[in-house]
Amino acid sequence: MADQYDLIIVGGGPIGLACAIEAQKKNLRYLIIEKGAIVNSIFNYPLYMTFFSTAERLEIGDIPFNCLAPKPGRQEALEYYRNIHRYFNFNINLFEKVNEIKKTGSSIFEISTNKSSYKSKNVVIATGFYDIPIHMNIKGEELPKVRHYYKEAHEYAFRNVLVVGANNSSVDAALECWRKGANVTMVVRKNEINNRVKYWVKPDIENRIAEGSIKAYFESNITEILDNKVEIETPNGKVTIENDFVLALTGYKPDLNFLQNTGIELSNDELKIPTYNPETMETNIEGLFLAGVVCGGMQTHKWFIENSRIHANMIVDYITSK
C-alpha cells in the first residue's frame, strides 16, 4: 500500500487534468490514474473529428490553445493536452485501471487498481462517458461487422454501410464514408436529423439525403442484422437491404455500475443522475467528488469540457477550505 495522498483523480481527460492543475496550485499531494493514454477519450475519437467548441473554450490551466482553423480537430486537441502535461509535469499513472474505491472506517479511501493500491483523503471521479456503448439489443448485434466506434472511412470504401443514428458521430461517419466511395444508408429513430448536429454539417447531410446520395429511413429501427443483409422496420413496412458493415453509433454512457459500487446514489429514473452537491461537486459520500460529463448520468449532452472546467476549482477550493 502506497503512502497517502490528499487527492486521487480517476480519469486523465481534460477535466481530470484540470483538477490536477488546481491541486498543484494548492500544493496538494495528488495522483491521476488513467486506464489508457492521456486524454484517452479524445484519442479514441474519429481521426478527422472537428470539435463544436472553439479552441479557447477547451483551454485549461490558463494555457492558450492556438489553432489556425475556426474549430480545432482531434489531432490539435491531442497536441494541446500533451503540451499541457509537458508544462505541468503531472503525477499521472497511465494504462492503469481503477477497479474499486472503498472508504475505510478512518475516513480514508482505498483505491485498488489492476497494478497497485493507494490511499487518499479525497477522490475525484472524472471518467467521462465514452467507455460503454449503448447497445440496440437486437439479434445479430454481436457480429464482427457491427461497430460501435468509428475511426476513419477507408475501411468502408466501396462497401454497403449502414449507419444507425442521427447525431454528430453518425452524421460525420455517414458523410465521410460516402465521400470515400461507400454506399451509405442511415436508419434514424426520429423523423429528422438531430438539431444538435454541428450547424455547418447539418445542411450537408440533409442535402445528401435529399438528392439521394445517402439513403435514409426515418422513424425506423433495425430489427435484425445478418451476415450480408439487415432488416429494417419502417413506417411503410419491413425492408431488407444488402449490407457489409453496420456503424451502430447510438451513443455512450458512463460506467454507472462503477459509480454505484463506490456507494454513489443514482436517481431512480432512466437518467440515472448521480447524487452530488452542485456547489462543491461532493457526492453523498464525504470526500468523494464528481467532475465533468460523468455528473450528468445518461444526460451525456449536458456537460462538456467548456462548461465543466469550473468543477476543478470548485472541488479543490472546497477540499482546501476544510
How open is the CA angle 98-302-286, to the nearest 5 degrees? 45
CATH number of the structural domain spanning residue 309: 3.50.50.60
Residues 117 and 146 in one domain: no
Under 8 Å between Cβ of 161 and 170: no
Cβ neighbours for 38, distance < 8 A, ≥ 6 positions apart: 12, 17, 81, 82, 85, 92, 94
Residues 200 and 218 in one domain: yes
Under 8 Å between Cβ of 279 and 314: yes
Residues 314 and 257 in one domain: yes
CA distance 241 to 297: 35
- Write down the pLDDT at residue 322: 83
Cβ neighbours for 321, distance < 8 A, ≥ 6 positions apart: none
Task: Describe the strand order of the beta sheet including 245-248 as a list of residue ranges.
Answer: 146-147, 245-248, 160-164, 183-187, 215-217
Under 8 Å between Cβ of 275 and 266: yes
Q: Indicate the DSSP class of residue 40.
A: H
- Read off the pTM: 0.92
Question: How many other C-beta atoms lie within 10 A of the C-beta of residue 59?
Answer: 18
- Write down the pLDDT at residue 281: 98
Domain total of the chain: 2
How open is the CA angle 60-62-65, to the nearest 5 degrees? 70
From first CA to last CA, the distance across the chain in angstroms is 26
CA distance 114 to 258: 15
Q: Strand 160-164 relative to strand 183-187: parallel, antiparallel, unpaired?
A: parallel
**Whole domain around residue 258: which residue ranges?**
4-132+252-321
- Write down the pLDDT at residue 2: 54
Residues 84 and 111 in one domain: yes
The grid coordinates listed for 309 are 472546467
CA distance 314 to 291: 10
Q: Which residue has the cell 448521480?
A: 274
CA distance 232 to 187: 8
Under 8 Å between Cβ of 216 and 188: yes
Which of 224, 248, 272 is the endpoint of a domain?
A: 248
Residues 283 and 169 in one domain: no
Residues 238 and 256 in one domain: no
Residue 221 φ/ψ, nearest 5 degrees: -145, 145
Q: Return the closest-CA partner of residue 128 out of 222, 16, 29, 220.
A: 16
Residues 13 and 119 in one domain: yes
Q: What's the alpha-carbon Rg for the chain, to the nearest Å?
A: 21
Residues 268 and 300 in one domain: yes
Residues 30 and 127 in one domain: yes
Residues 162 and 244 in one domain: yes
Q: Indicate the DSSP class of residue 89.
A: -
Which of 220, 248, 276 is the endpoint of a domain?
A: 248
Residues 315 and 226 in one domain: no
Annotate 240-302 with DSSP letters as a single string: EEE-SEEEE---EE--HHHHHHTT--B-SSTT-PBPB-TTT-BBSSTTEEE-GGGGGTT-TTT
Residues 123 and 139 in one domain: no
Which of 192, 217, 248 is the endpoint of a domain?
A: 248
CA distance 105 to 50: 47
For every one of its 322 residues, what pLDDT tens digit does the chain have, with 9 covering 90 and above?
457 999 999 999 999 999 999 999 999 999 999 999 999 999 999 999 999 889 999 999 999 999 988 899 999 999 999 999 999 999 999 999 999 999 987 789 999 999 999 999 999 999 998 889 999 999 999 999 999 999 999 999 999 999 999 999 999 999 999 999 999 999 999 999 999 999 999 999 999 999 999 999 999 999 999 999 999 999 999 999 999 999 999 999 999 999 999 999 999 999 999 999 999 999 999 999 999 999 999 998 888 899 999 999 999 999 999 8
